[in-house]
Amino acid sequence: MKKHGRCKGSMTVEMAILFPVIFFTILGMLYLCIIKYQNIAAGTAAMRAAARGAACWDKLGGDGAWDFQTLEGEESGGGLLVAANYSEHDPYRYILDTKSEKRLANIQAYARWLVEGNPSVMGEDAGSKEPVVTKTGNILQKYVTVSITKRYTNPFEDVMAQVGLSAPDEAVITASAPLNTPAEFIRNASFIYDLVKGDGYKGG
């Protein structure tokens, strides 16, 4: 009986030691999965903003390009384009884009709107940065690039460190979409060449 009692006591001590380790390991892994999910959601928002911005580039040169920028009250908008004035459709936007900053600002507003609609399960700090939208690339191929920075406050940081787990405090998610193509550059270059040569020049 004494031996059996010592065995039960030993198991109780072992469980008292192992249970917190197992519990906090599972808790840490769950936290990492949540952070991964939120980063994937942010990545999806960045890809959508970049692709939509590149596709609608010619329509984003004015103020209030999206319905959520113009609707008020209960009508929050669904991220749809507002009918743009035809004067904003700059035909030379790929040669000399005078409204580039306005277009980038409208894409940034769309990216911000998408990020705000993402679920925030836990751990996200309100200090996350604004989405950054830039036009990158070279003369042959240009891209719209959207970067979203997520900052997290880990309430389990010390406990996770004890079991060998860690999570980054900041994640930068970047997505790009092609703004134009080499074929379009050739067309624009041909247009400029014909323009320089004079009216009626058709090559040759």
pLDDT exceeds 60 at position 203: no
Per-residue exposure over 60-93, b if at least 16 CB sit within 10 Å of its own CB, e if not: bbbeebbebeeeeeeeeeeeeebebeeebebeeb
**Residue scoring higher pLDDT (170 or 10):** 170
Q: Which tokens is 79 given?
A: 């991220």
Cα–Cα dist 117/76, whole Å:
11
**Residue scoring higher pLDDT (56 or 164):** 56
Percent of the chain clearing pLDDT 70 (strictly above): 66
Residue 85 in 3-state DSSP?
A: coil
Residues 116-169: pLDDT tens digits? Answer: 888 777 655 555 678 999 998 877 788 999 999 988 877 666 666 666 777 777
Percent of the chain clearing pLDDT 90 (strictly above): 17
pLDDT at site 189:
73
